[in-house]
Amino acid sequence: MNDKDIKLLEESFKKFYFDHFKLIHVPENPNQREFGFQKFNSGMSRHISLKTDKELHLLLMQKIPSDIYCSNACYSFPNLPMNEKDWKNAELIFDIDAKDLGVKSRDTHSCIKCTECNEIASLQQSCPKCNSNKLSKITLSCNDCITSTKTQVKKLKEILINDFGISSDSIQVFFSGNEGFHIYVNNSDYQELGSKERAEIVDYIMFRGVIPETFGFKKFNSGKTSLPEFGESGWRGRLSNAIYGSKSKRTQVSRTIISSGYAAFQKQLEMLKDQIGVRIDPNVTVDIHRIFRLPGSLNSKSGLAKIIVNDIDKFDPYVDACLLDSDDVEVVANCPIQFSLKNKKFGPYNHETISVPKYAAVYMICKGIANHT
Domain presence at residue 226: yes
The confidence score (pLDDT) of residue 76 equals: 97
Domain presence at residue 105: no
pLDDT, average across residues 101-105: 89
**Confidence band for 231, pLDDT divided at 50, 70 and 90:** confident
The confidence score (pLDDT) of residue 329 equals: 97
Q: Is the pLDDT of residue 46 over 80?
A: yes
CATH number, position 89: 3.90.920.10
Instruction: Please name which of 366, 297, 292, 282 lies closest in space to residue 329, comparing C-alpha atoms.
Output: 366
Does 348 lie in the same domain as 285? yes
Q: Is the pLDDT of residue 218 over 90?
A: no
Active-site residue numbers? 95, 97, 281
* Domain termination site, one of 260, 276, 292: 276
Domain presence at residue 302: yes
Which is higher by pLDDT, 150 or 229?
150
Does 339 lie in the same domain as 314? yes
Angstrom distance (rounded) from CA 300 to CA 367: 9
Residue 19 CB partners (closer than 8 Å, separation 6+): none
Q: What is the pLDDT of residues 321-362, one digit of tens each?
A: 999 999 999 999 999 999 999 999 998 999 999 999 999 999
* Domain termination site, one of 230, 256, 276: 276
Average pLDDT, the chain: 94
The confidence score (pLDDT) of residue 128 equals: 92
Domain presence at residue 112: no
Does 84 lie in the same domain as 53? yes
Percent share of the chain, pLDDT over 90: 84
Whole domain around residue 219: which residue ranges? 208-276
Does 18 lie in the same domain as 90? yes
Does 212 lie in the same domain as 200? no
Q: Is the peptide bond before 357 cis (omega within 30 degrees of 0)?
A: no
Q: What is the pLDDT of residues 106-116, one digit of tens each?
A: 999 999 999 99
Does 329 lie in the same domain as 239? no
Does 352 lie in the same domain as 237? no
Domain presence at residue 65: yes
Domain presence at residue 300: yes
Does 170 lie in the same domain as 88? yes
Write the secondary structure of the chain as one string of H (helix), E (strand) and C (coil). Answer: CCHHHHHHHHHHHHHHHHHCHHHCCCCCCHHHCCEEEECCCCCEEEEECCCCHHHHHHHHHHHCCCEEEEECEEECCCCCCHHHCCEEEECEEEEEEHHHCCCHHHHHHEEEEECCCCCEEECCCCCCCCCCCCEEEEECCCHHHHHHHHHHHHHHHHHHHHCCCCCHHHEEEEECCCCEEEEEECCCCCCCCCHHHHHHHHHHHHCCCCCHHHHCCCCCCHHHCCCCCCCCCHHHHHHHHHHHCCHHHHHHHHHHHHHHCHHHHHHHHHHCHHHHCCCCCHHHHHCCCCEEECCCCECCCCCCECEECCCCCCCCHHHHCCCCCCCEEEEEEEECCCEEECCEEECCEEEEEEEEEHHHHHHHHHHCCEEEC
Domain presence at residue 261: yes
Angstrom distance (rounded) from CA 363 to CA 360: 5
Q: Is the pLDDT of residue 223 over 70?
A: no
Does 75 lie in the same domain as 13? yes
Half-sphere exposure of 321 (CA within 13 A, CB side): 30
Angstrom distance (rounded) from CA 343 to CA 370: 20
Does 162 lie in the same domain as 73? yes
The confidence score (pLDDT) of residue 221 equals: 60
Q: Is the pLDDT of residue 226 over 90?
A: no
The confidence score (pLDDT) of residue 227 equals: 86
Does 16 lie in the same domain as 63? yes
Does 268 lie in the same domain as 151? no
The confidence score (pLDDT) of residue 222 equals: 52
pLDDT, average across residues 45-70: 96
Instruction: Please name which of 68, 295, 328 lies closest in space to residue 175, comparing C-alpha atoms.
Output: 295
* Domain termination site, one of 225, 255, 276: 276
pLDDT, average across residues 138-159: 94
Percent share of the chain, pLDDT over 70: 99
Q: What are phi and psi of 36, to 5 degrees?
A: -155, 160
Number of domains in the chain: 2
Q: What is the pLDDT of residues 200-210, one digit of tens each?
A: 999 999 999 88
pTM of the predicted protein model: 0.93
- Which of 11-15, 18-22, 212-216, 291-295 has the least mean pLDDT? 212-216
Which is higher by pLDDT, 263 or 221?
263
Residue 363 CB partners (closer than 8 Å, separation 6+): 302, 303, 304, 322, 339, 341
Domain presence at residue 266: yes
